[in-house]
Amino acid sequence: MALLTKAPRGTHDILPSEIHKYQFLEDEFLSLAESFGFKEIRIPVFEHTELFHRSVGETTDVVQKEMYTFNDLSGRSITLRPEGTAGVARAYVEHGLFNEPAPQKFVYKVSCYRYEKPQAGRLREFHQFGVETFGASDSSAEAEIVALADAFFELLGIEDIHLEINSIGCPECRKVYLEKLRAYFKEHIDSLCDTCKDRLERNPMRILDCKSPVCKEISKGVPIMLDSLCGDCKEHFESFKADLDALGVEYKVNPMIVRGLDYYTRSVFEFVSDKIGTQGTVCGGGRYDGLIEEIGGPATPACGFGMGVERLVLLLESIGFDFPEPSPCALYIASTDKEAARVASQIAFDVRLSGLGAEYDITGRSLKAQMKYANKINADFTLVLGNDEIMSGVGRLKDMKTGESVEVRLDEVAEAIVDIYSNRIVEQFGELSGSFPDDGGDSPTFTIIEGGKKK
165-174 tens-digit pLDDT: 999 999 899 8
Is residue 158 domain-resident?
Answer: yes
In this structure, the answer to whether residues 112 and 58 fall within a common structural domain is yes
What pTM did the predictor assign? 0.86
Q: What's the confidence (pLDDT) of residue 279?
A: 63
In this structure, the answer to whether residues 371 and 251 fall within a common structural domain is no
Among 214, 217, 195, residue whose Cα is nearest residue 206: 195
Q: What φ, ψ does residue 432 adopt, rounded to 5°?
A: -100, 130
Among 261, 256, 201, 306, residue whose Cα is nearest residue 62: 261
pLDDT of residue 11 exceeding 60: yes
Is residue 8 domain-resident?
Answer: no
d(CA 451, CA 455): 10
pLDDT of residue 447 exceeding 50: no
In this structure, the answer to whether residues 63 and 153 fall within a common structural domain is yes
Q: What φ, ψ does residue 134 adopt, rounded to 5°?
A: -115, 135
In this structure, the answer to whether residues 20 and 97 fall within a common structural domain is yes
300-356 tens-digit pLDDT: 999 999 999 999 999 999 999 999 988 889 999 999 999 999 999 999 999 999 999
pLDDT of residue 450 exceeding 50: no
Instruction: Work out the average pLDDT over 39-53.
Output: 96
Strand-pair category, 394-399 with 381-385: antiparallel
Range in 148-162, 194-208, 318-332 the model is least confident about: 194-208
Is residue 258 domain-resident?
Answer: yes
Q: Output the domain CATH number for residue 243.
A: 3.30.930.10
Report CA-CA distances (Å) from 125 to 66, 72, 83, 282, 315.
11, 20, 11, 16, 18
Among 161, 110, 145, residue whose Cα is nearest residue 316: 161
In this structure, the answer to whether residues 299 and 343 fall within a common structural domain is no
Higher-pLDDT residue of 31 and 401 is 31
Question: How many domains, in total, are found in the chain?
Answer: 2
Amino acid at position 379, single letter:
A
Range in 201-210, 250-259, 303-312, 366-375 the model is least confident about: 201-210
Residue 402's domain spans which residues? 331-427
Q: Which long-range contacts (CB under 8 A, 24 or more apart) does 2-6 make?
A: none
Is residue 386 domain-resident?
Answer: yes
In this structure, the answer to whether residues 379 and 272 fall within a common structural domain is no
In this structure, the answer to whether residues 309 and 341 fall within a common structural domain is no
Beta bridge partners, 110, equal 128
Three-state DSSP class for 221?
coil
Amino acid at position 364, single letter:
G
259-287 tens-digit pLDDT: 766 788 999 999 999 877 666 899 999 99
Range in 3-7, 15-19, 295-299 the model is least confident about: 3-7
In this structure, the answer to whether residues 154 and 289 fall within a common structural domain is yes
Question: Under the phi-then-psi rule, with left for phi > 0, alpha for psi from -120 to 50, and beta for the rest, what region is 169?
Answer: left
Q: Which long-range contacts (CB under 8 A, 24 or more apart) does 298-302 make?
A: 298/98, 300/92, 300/98, 300/134, 300/135, 301/134, 301/135, 301/136, 301/137, 301/141, 302/89, 302/132, 302/133, 302/134, 302/135, 302/136
Q: Output the domain CATH number for residue 385.
A: 3.40.50.800
Of 318, 348, 375, the one marking the end of a domain is 318
In the predicted model, what is the mean pLDDT of the chain?
Answer: 89
Q: What's the confidence (pLDDT) of residue 198?
A: 83
Is residue 438 domain-resident?
Answer: no
